[in-house]
Chains A and B, each alone.
Chain A
Amino acid sequence: MLKKLFFVTALILCCFAISIAQTSVAGHPVLENLSSEPGIVEVELTASQERLSLVPGVETDVYAYNGRVPGPLLEVSEGDSVIVHFKNNLPEKTTVHWHGLHLPFVMDGSPFHPVGPGETFTYAFRIHEGTAGTYWYHPHPHHRTAWQVGMGLYGGIIIRDHNDPLPDTLTERLLILSDNRFDDDGQIEFAETGSRQKRVDDMNGREGDVLFVNDEIMPELTIRSGEVQRWRIVNASGARIYRLALEGHTFTHVGSDGGLFEHPVEVDEIILSNGERAELLVYGTGEPGSSITLRDLPYDRYMPMFRPSNWEKTNDLLTLLYTDEKPVQEPFEVPETLRKIPELTLDDATETRIMRMTNGKINSRTMDMNRVDETAELGATEIWDIRNLVGMDHPFHLHGFQFQVIDRNGEPVSQRKWKDTVNVPGFESARFIVRYDNYPGLWMFHCHILDHEDQGMMGVLEVK
């Protein structure tokens, strides 16, 4: 009997160990796949109130997915069918928006499909070929997105390509960037209605003075001298735009919202606006035993009258420690061509839609759930002309369909990329081209400064 018990226990422990080994990807716990069927990813996701330690030594009331902030990683591959059994244990309605994914309207988790307190909803969608990349999920209830994301509801998604041009031997890291603000009791702080801070938050979007990379403040990551790592970065902040630089190092920028570029680009720094993602190759060019810092450099995204006094402050995000191991000798060369991105041609465009962004409004309108602002035909190719008429940045996000930026301020962009969010700095413009494939429905477009979105800087595109 005892032997049998020992055997069962050992088996359980062994399975547990395997489970642990399998449930951490890119530094994140992964949503467990309940399905044994190939090509099916079936997971459970629950949003609930929790009390967690976000800041060391302090317990904070949060909203969390599966008890974690950020929520666990959804890892899928092109061609997979995804089933997410979602349970809302929050005291308010919510949704799960699969930011950047091409999926049916009813599965988009937009404000049109709220999930009430105590209710469940099963999100089911297919992962399209050619969409491998880094995405994220977050709530999208009308007027409450900034609050719920600020309380901790966000998580990463990695879509894998079975024929990824980058080798899987590269150490992969997923860095979900966020910031938050806490009161003296360690509770998440939101400005009081009518206060000066509320006015600032309404205008700038709510920024926090505590910066997180995943679930840590200033985490320490390691790299071996000579090693190349693949970093996937998500800006999950409600308002903060990051200008990222790694001291003494360059990045090879290989991908953005909709996956890999056609060609890698060497850069000293990148700007990542709200909702955007980046894929970077980080080269361990430092000496064994040394360390460097990933920094958020000053970036002026503000209207002059609301620019914070400390906007020029550089924020440290993480420390990258070089191990004492001897340098990796095998050189890695990134392919000159990562993939071919289909071109959406201007000749096919049947319409140009002009979006004039002001603070809190698009085309002088605030969001009305009972109004359709734009109507397009399924399968049509169109141009969107995004004009920012005010003196602060507005990152523009379109649901459901990845697009290709054509030009900025009339200047053509350097290469084709799939994007779902494009930042438009103050008094600047950007045009993109998009094709409404596969899915009719009511698709949101909005500023991804979450406070602006909540104020109604959002509209509805009906594709039919």
Chain B
Amino acid sequence: MFNLRRGLIYAITLIIVSTGFGLPGANKAAGQSLETVVHVEALDHAFDVDAPNELPTGWITIVFSNQMASFNHEISLVQLPDGVAHEDYLTDYMIAWETLLREYQEGVVERSGISDRVNEMLPAWSGDVRYVNGRGLVSPGRTAERTTYLEPGKYLLVCWMKTEEGIIHIMEGMHWEFTVTEEAANSPEPNPESRITLHEKEIEVKWEPETGKHAFELELSMNPAGQSYHNNVHLVRLEEGADLDKVNEWMDWYKVGGLRSPAPVEFLGGLGYVSAEETGYFGLNITEPGEYAWVVFAPRGPGLFKTFTID
């Protein structure tokens, strides 16, 4: 279990550090039945979800709109182990992380000691918590989507970002619990034309940049050991003088100012997920011409960037 927990810590660290976004093929979403599309409005700090707390199993699209909030938000999609209640995640699990964050930010815990310290506090089942896919940062005024295959089970939508005071949004109330039932959703797997592949040192994008709604499939290249080099990609809009290295630094959740509002750039969406065996689908909307960049957050080094212009 200890190793499992270490694995979990690593996975969470990746999620936290990464900024994957997902959005399903927008063209596919139009053909899906209503109950398989979940509209989520972000507020400071809660989700206003226009869906029942029970969803069918299958391909589910989450449309994440940040039109009412003042800060950046994200959705991490969490599946709980059997026998673990939603409340267990919010109490035992989250209190451990909140405590760790506070201690780390106060200098009580060094970065090298994070894993040991949080392992002391996390419940035994925490190693079985599954992050189906991770954060997709969405700035105020933006809307993004992702489509995910959901197996039956208990889930939460949570936001791991931090307030200006350094408090995890989940602890402020930004969580929503739901159950995926055995009832099958008759929604097809997305099949977007555009594809992003994350290589070791390159973001490969098969896509024609232009304004409008776009849907992507995210593919991860593997190293010889079968592990993905990267696990997240984000689209950001660049203002003059934007420093992408600082964006990568800001996306480090463990840094005191990491993932705290305000963000150094505007985020339009993206996808981050842990499992390399699964395909990620996400969508986003580019509403105006300008300078943009695909950003892959890398926790231990410079991130990958690919800039482009939309006229």
Q: In whole angstroms, what is the CA distance A45 to B44 when docked?
A: 40
Chain B: residues with Cβ within 8 Å of the partner, total of 19
> Which residues of chain A have C-beta atoms less than 8 A from B175's C-beta?
391
Main secondary structure, interface of B, reads: mixed
Q: In whole angstroms, what is the CA distance A136 to B176 when docked?
A: 37
Give chain A's interface residue range (CB within 8 Å of chain B).
10 to 19
Cβ of A389 and Cβ of B91 under 8 Å apart? no
> Which residues of chain B have C-beta atoms less than 8 A from A359's C-beta?
45-46, 172-173
> Which residues of chain B have C-beta atoms less than 8 A from A356's C-beta?
43, 46, 48, 68
Cβ of B44 and Cβ of A358 under 8 Å apart? yes
User: What is the 8 Å Cβ interface bit string for chain A, positions 413-449, against chain B (1 contact, 0 not)?
Assistant: 0000000000000000000000000000000000000
Within 59-118 of A, Cβ neighbours of B (below 8 Å) are at: none
Q: In whole angstroms, what is the CA distance A408 to B37 when docked?
A: 25
User: Given A303-B173, A359-B173, does the pair A389, B90 have CB atoms closer than 8 Å?
Assistant: no
Residue from the list A305, A360, A390 in contact with B94, Cβ < 8 A: A305
Q: Taking the complex as formed, is B191 at the interface, i.e. its CB lies under 8 A from any CB of chain A?
A: no
User: What is the 8 Å Cβ interface bit string for chain A, positions 290-304, against chain B (1 contact, 0 not)?
Assistant: 000000000000011
Q: In whole angstroms, what is the CA distance A45 to B222 when docked?
A: 77
Residue among B87, B91, B171, B173 with max Cβ neighbours from chain A (10 Å): B173
Cβ of B171 and Cβ of A389 under 8 Å apart? no
Residue from the list A307, A363, A387, A391 in contact with B173, Cβ < 8 A: A391
Q: In whole angstroms, what is the CA distance A303 to B43 when docked?
A: 17
- Nearest-neighbour CB distance to chain B for A310, whole angstroms, equals 15
Q: Taking the complex as formed, is A19 at the interface, i.e. its CB lies under 8 A from any CB of chain B?
A: no
Q: Taking the complex as formed, is A28 at the interface, i.e. its CB lies under 8 A from any CB of chain B?
A: no
Q: How many A-B pairs fall under 8 Å by CB?
A: 51
Cβ of A305 and Cβ of B95 under 8 Å apart? yes
Q: Which residue of A lies closest to B53 (CB)?
A: A427
> Which residues of chain A have C-beta atoms less than 8 A from B221's C-beta?
none
- Nearest-neighbour CB distance to chain B for A193, whole angstroms, equals 12
Q: Taking the complex as formed, is B98 at the interface, i.e. its CB lies under 8 A from any CB of chain A?
A: yes
Cβ of B90 and Cβ of A361 under 8 Å apart? no
Q: In whole angstroms, what is the CA distance A387 to B46 when docked?
A: 11
> Which residues of chain A have C-beta atoms less than 8 A from B48's C-beta?
356, 387, 389
> Which residues of chain A have C-beta atoms less than 8 A from B46's C-beta?
356, 358-359, 389-390
Cβ of B91 and Cβ of A361 under 8 Å apart? no
Cβ of B43 and Cβ of A364 under 8 Å apart? yes
Within 39-70 of B, Cβ neighbours of A (below 8 Å) are at: 43-48, 68-70
Query: Known contacts A389-B173, A390-B45; can you find 4 more A-B pairs with CB under 8 A?
Result: A305-B171, A356-B46, A389-B48, A391-B90
Q: Taking beta carbons and an 8 Å cutoff, which residues of A are in contact with B?
A: 303-305, 307, 356, 358-361, 363-364, 387, 389-392
* CB-CB nearest 9 A-B residue pairs: A390-B173, A389-B46, A358-B46, A304-B90, A364-B43, A364-B44, A304-B87, A364-B68, A359-B173
User: Can you name 8 A-B pairs with beta carbons within 8 Å?
Assistant: A303-B173, A304-B90, A356-B46, A358-B173, A359-B173, A361-B43, A364-B70, A389-B48
